[in-house]
Amino acid sequence: MYRAKCTLLGRPLPNDELEHQRLGKPTALAVFASDALSSTAYASEEIIRALVLGGIGLAAFNFVLPITLALVAVLVILMFSYRQTIKAYPSAGGAYVVTKDNLGLLPAQFAGVALLTDYILTVSVSVSAGVAALYSAAPALHPYRVPIALFFIAIITWGNLRGVKESGKIFAAPTYFFLFSIAFMIIVGVARALTGDLHAVANETMPTVTKQAGIFLILHAFASGGAAMTGVEAISNGVPAFRPPEWKNARSTLMVMGSCLAFMFIGISWLAHIIKPIPTEDKTVLSAISTAVFGTSPLGHAIFLIIQGATMLILVLAANTAFADFPRLASFHADDAFMPKQLTKRGHRLVFSNGIIALALCAAFLVVIFSADVTHLIPLYAIGVFTSFTLSQTGMAVHHIKEKEEGWRAGLVINALGALSTGVVTIVIGVMKFMHGAWVIILLVPIMVYALMRLNKQYEHEHDELTRESREALARPVLRRHVAVVLVGDLDSSVATGIQYARSLRADGLRAVHVAIDPARADTLREQWLDLNLTKVPLDIVHCPDRRIDRALIDVVLRETAQGDTEVSVILPRLHRHRWWHQLIHDHTANAIARSLEGIEHVNVTFVPHRIAEL
């Protein structure tokens, strides 16, 4: 098993190599930006879809660019807000830590959970959209979209389990490939438009103007475009993954990422405004733009295919941002005892393996439930990330007021503006998308936060119980009496090993117990036992017609502990096998018994292994 793990994941990394797993700026951009950049593949389209569904005809395209610019304004505010955060929290900022520090633990749970749900959706949406791009090019793959999406998730999971540096290597090329393809398309498109060579596509079915666009329609379109902003927070959450000086490198990477995102988003929306492509079931706006810009010549078609391929790749790999951030954020929750402690453990390759696996399972679940259908996933998206933006920016504003560091007044203005604008966007998305699916998130996040609070209470309670009077407990005297009970299934050599061990305990009482489900078999066993003449180890047969062996054994041990001041050792002989599949084929009664006996004080379960020679 371990050898297989090493083959799959690479050699194990010792603790002292943790420091060296850092990312240079170009690699960091690839790891953290793919989520944000990939959203340009569908953000303009989502705005157009919302407008076209409003039934305002071709007038819809007059609003694409203004709405895009409004969203880019929010993006610019966010970028400058997060510059503040990265500097103030260089040892890993992100919504959770910032909110906790300034607003307290409860708001931090909201910020964290909202972000975690969004990371899960990032994986499901991006992978599904990537697979959709694939089967749009190769329709024969359509029936296999769910297994293909699961395969992609598996590949990304594997890459991340191997470690963050390696995953940077895998993902750098596709991110830059997408970036340059789209930039090339925008430049060629702008050049053709300036020479008057780029025209709107024919739309016979669509009237020029049907009716006036209402404020509701424009806000709905704005909310749809909000998905473009997911992923902007990724860098602030991952500052420690940068090479020193971490905060400076993270800041400049953030500015590069934001500029690229703004350039691509405006460029695509502007081209859409010129070309006016109506979104259909089987042709995305991006692909329609690309066809219009490069034409239908063989060269144009080749470039079209390259752009489609780059889009597919970036969408599938956008999931990687979530894989970089979800486990780290979950480990923050767990460090504060608001999530299971297992999430703080570093695995074989020093990454938070449990968080990676949890994310993969949740995302795979959504992909299966929604049959990898992007349309049904999209309305759940973006609300979580804007909730965490708002809380984190509010936290930063409070931070400036409290700390009053140099330049705090400017910082306060920036972060207050950030909090206000993202707060407004959160409300807009929540209201506009409520009926389309946002209600799931609005319902789920508070429930999750409640669960985490309960969990935290339990952890605190356990910690109190364990540490209270532990010094006195360590001086407790030994109990007066010690009884050993060996569980016997059949008369075989594993039982012999168990009895041999039990006798070495020199207990005050020693006996064998057989829990009888089949009375005939019990009779045979009794006779065989008498034949053996093992006078020192009498055999008790306990009948158990309801097949609940654990309950029958509890009765047996309770009779012993009833005598008071007694320590009971229940001895379970257990076969040891060499291969993992040999373990699977035997039942796990022994484990189940150990679990049920655990509830009784001074009843201890010992597994005595009996080795079977290899075949």
| Interactions with a copy of itself, residue window 221-260 (CB under 8 A) | none
Contacting a copy of itself within 521-560 (CB under 8 A) = 532, 534, 545-548
Interface region with a copy of itself, contact rule CB under 8 A, candidates 26-34, 121-129, 553-561, 570-578: 570-578
DSSP string, 602-613: TEEEEEEEEEPP
Interface region with a copy of itself, contact rule CB under 8 A, candidates 137-145, 168-176, 393-401, 407-415: 137-145
Counting contacts by CB under 8 A, is residue 420 touching a copy of itself? no
Q: Using the rule CB under 8 A, which residue among 70, 459, 509, 541 binds a copy of itself?
A: 459
Counting contacts by CB under 8 A, is residue 607 touching a copy of itself? yes
Query: Minimum distance between the CB of residue 601 and a copy of itself, rounded to whole angstroms?
Result: 6
Phi, then psi, of 556 in degrees rounded to 5: -60, -50
- Which secondary-structure segment (H or E) carries 433? none
The conformation of residue 507, written as its DSSP 8-state character, comes to: -
Q: Who's near 589: CB < 8 A, 6+ residues apart?
A: 549
Q: Who's near 432: CB < 8 A, 6+ residues apart?
A: 219, 220, 222, 223, 224
Longest dimension (CA), the chain: 106
Q: Using the rule CB under 8 A, which residue among 55, 143, 244, 407 binds a copy of itself?
A: 143
Q: What residue type is assigned to position 281 of the chain? A: E
Q: Distance between CA atoms of 118 and 361, rounded to whole angstroms?
A: 15
Q: Using the rule CB under 8 A, which residue among 214, 335, 413, 500 binds a copy of itself?
A: 500
Q: At which residue do the structure tokens 């503006």 appear?
A: 417
- Which secondary-structure segment (H or E) carries 487? strand 481-487
∠ CA 598-603-604, nearest 5°, is: 80
Contacting a copy of itself within 430-449 (CB under 8 A) = none
Q: Distance between CA atoms of 124 and 118, rounded to whole angstroms?
A: 10
Query: Minimum distance between the CB of residue 131 and a copy of itself, rounded to whole angstroms?
Result: 12
- Helix and strand element counts for the chain (H, E): 24, 5
Q: Using the rule CB under 8 A, which residue among 146, 255, 278, 401 binds a copy of itself?
A: 146
Ramachandran assignment for 382, one of left (phi > 0), alpha (psi -120 to 50 degrees), beta (any other)? left
Q: What residue type is assigned to position 150 of the chain? A: L
Counting contacts by CB under 8 A, is residue 465 touching a copy of itself? yes
Interface region with a copy of itself, contact rule CB under 8 A, candidates 102-110, 249-257, 335-343, 395-403: 335-343
- The 12-51 site mask, x for binding a copy of itself (CB under 8 A), equals x-xxx-----------------------------------
Query: Minimum distance between the CB of residue 136 and a copy of itself, rounded to whole angstroms?
Result: 17
Contacting a copy of itself within 295-324 (CB under 8 A) = none
Interface region with a copy of itself, contact rule CB under 8 A, candidates 109-117, 294-302, 307-315, 584-592: 584-592
Counting contacts by CB under 8 A, is residue 469 touching a copy of itself? yes
Counting contacts by CB under 8 A, is residue 346 touching a copy of itself? yes
- Which secondary-structure segment (H or E) carries 510? strand 509-516
Counting contacts by CB under 8 A, is residue 341 touching a copy of itself? yes
Q: Using the rule CB under 8 A, which residue among 373, 423, 444, 541 binds a copy of itself?
A: 373
Counting contacts by CB under 8 A, is residue 564 touching a copy of itself? no
Counting contacts by CB under 8 A, is residue 473 touching a copy of itself? yes
Q: Distance between CA atoms of 591 and 151, rounded to whole angstroms?
A: 34
Counting contacts by CB under 8 A, is residue 333 touching a copy of itself? no
Per the structure block, which two tokens stand in for 372? 């990898």
Counting contacts by CB under 8 A, is residue 369 touching a copy of itself? yes
Q: Distance between CA atoms of 271 and 185, rounded to whole angstroms?
A: 10
- The 375-394 site mask, x for binding a copy of itself (CB under 8 A), equals -x------------------
Counting contacts by CB under 8 A, is residue 371 touching a copy of itself? yes
Q: Distance between CA atoms of 357 and 359, rounded to whole angstroms?
A: 5
